[in-house]
């Protein structure tokens, strides 16, 4: 019986900014899948000055597909001009044109609501990035899970282009309107760290007066402050 011919490995490129732990873990997931299955090989990392003409470097390196984190329509459009299939691992755009692989962000919001309710909080708040798809979906899950228990949630958020000092002052005033003990879910660990600082400046004890929960479970951020941050771990390697 003739042997089944094995397909050659699929040569891919990963276009992900590694500044966030989430996306570093996605990259490791992609690479581990390739190494363990033998189904993928990887092109050398493209340097910043090469990103202006993706179609050229795709042809040069024989790339047949791209895994990318496209957060904006402009970045998405540039990737679509590369001439090969692209999978997006960023859930930032509300109406993406590329296929997206991400976690269940509504489920993340529901999980956050359940955790904060279990902490015995009386009031609940949500702080996210205005307009980002992952933030909108996490808010929807958070709000719905609390509504099912007969509880409402206050919403606040960061605004694109706003000065950090202005955002911090709005956050502090927003937090002070919540009833203690309060539970706050911040969609990113970086937001949650700022929320911890806002709480301390308002004279609130953490976690006695306010329980703050982030998402991403970045080891650096979680251990950065005097009070360790509670955070939801996302399955970023599995996504990769």
- Please report the domains of the chain, with CATH numbers, ordered by start residue: 10-88 (3.40.50.2300), 105-235 (3.40.50.2300)
Residues 214, 188 contacting (CB under 8 angstroms): yes
User: What string of DSSP letters covers 27-93?
Assistant: HHHHHHHHHHHS-EEEPPPPPGGGTT-HHHHHHHHT--EEEE---SHHHHHHHHTTSS-EEE-----
- Please state, rounded to an integer, the average pLDDT across all residues of the chain: 92
Q: What is the pLDDT of residues 90-106, one digit of tens each?
A: 999 999 999 999 999 99
pTM over 0.85: yes
Position 150 scores a pLDDT of 95
Position 2 scores a pLDDT of 60
Q: Which residue, among 209, 56, 232, 207, has the nearest Cα to 138 in the 3D structure?
A: 232
Residues 183, 123 contacting (CB under 8 angstroms): yes
Q: Quote the radius of gyration of the chain (alpha carbons, Å).
A: 21
Q: Residues, the chain, total?
A: 240
Instruction: Please give the average per-residue pLDDT across 217-229, as a whole number.
Output: 77
Residues 64, 43 contacting (CB under 8 angstroms): no
Position 1 scores a pLDDT of 57
Percentage of the chain modeled with pLDDT above 90: 80
| All residues at 6 or more sequence positions from 118 whose CB lies less than 8 Å from its CB, including other chains | none
Reading the block at residue 221, the tokens are 């951020």
Q: What is the pLDDT of residues 186-219, one digit of tens each?
A: 999 999 999 999 999 999 999 999 999 999 887 7
């Amino acid at each position: 019986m003739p042997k089944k011919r094995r397909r050659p490995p699929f040569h891919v490129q990963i276009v992900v900014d590694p500044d966030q732990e989430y996306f570093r873990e996605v990259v490791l997931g992609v690479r581990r899948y390739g190494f363990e299955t033998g189904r993928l090989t990887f092109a050398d990392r493209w340097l910043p000055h090469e990103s202006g003409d993706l179609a050229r470097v795709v042809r040069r390196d024989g790339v047949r597909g791209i895994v990318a984190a496209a957060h904006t329509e402009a970045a998405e459009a540039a990737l679509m001009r590369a001439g090969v299939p692209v999978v997006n691992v960023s859930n930032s755009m509300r109406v993406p044109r590329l296929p997206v692989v991400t976690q269940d962000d509504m489920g993340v919001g529901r999980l956050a609501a359940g955790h904060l309710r279990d902490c015995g909080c009386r009031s609940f708040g949500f702080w996210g990035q205005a307009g980002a798809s992952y933030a909108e979906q996490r808010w929807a899950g958070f709000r719905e899970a609390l509504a099912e228990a007969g509880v409402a949630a206050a919403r606040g958020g960061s605004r694109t282009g706003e000065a950090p000092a202005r955002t911090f002052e709005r956050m502090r005033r927003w937090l002070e309107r919540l009833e203690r003990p309060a539970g706050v879910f911040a969609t990113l660990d970086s937001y949650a760290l700022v929320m911890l600082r806002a709480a301390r400046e308002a004279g609130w004890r953490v976690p006695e007066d306010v329980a703050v929960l982030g998402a991403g479970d970045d080891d650096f951020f979680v251990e950065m402050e005097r009070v360790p941050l509670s955070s939801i771990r996302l399955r970023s390697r599995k996504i990769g």
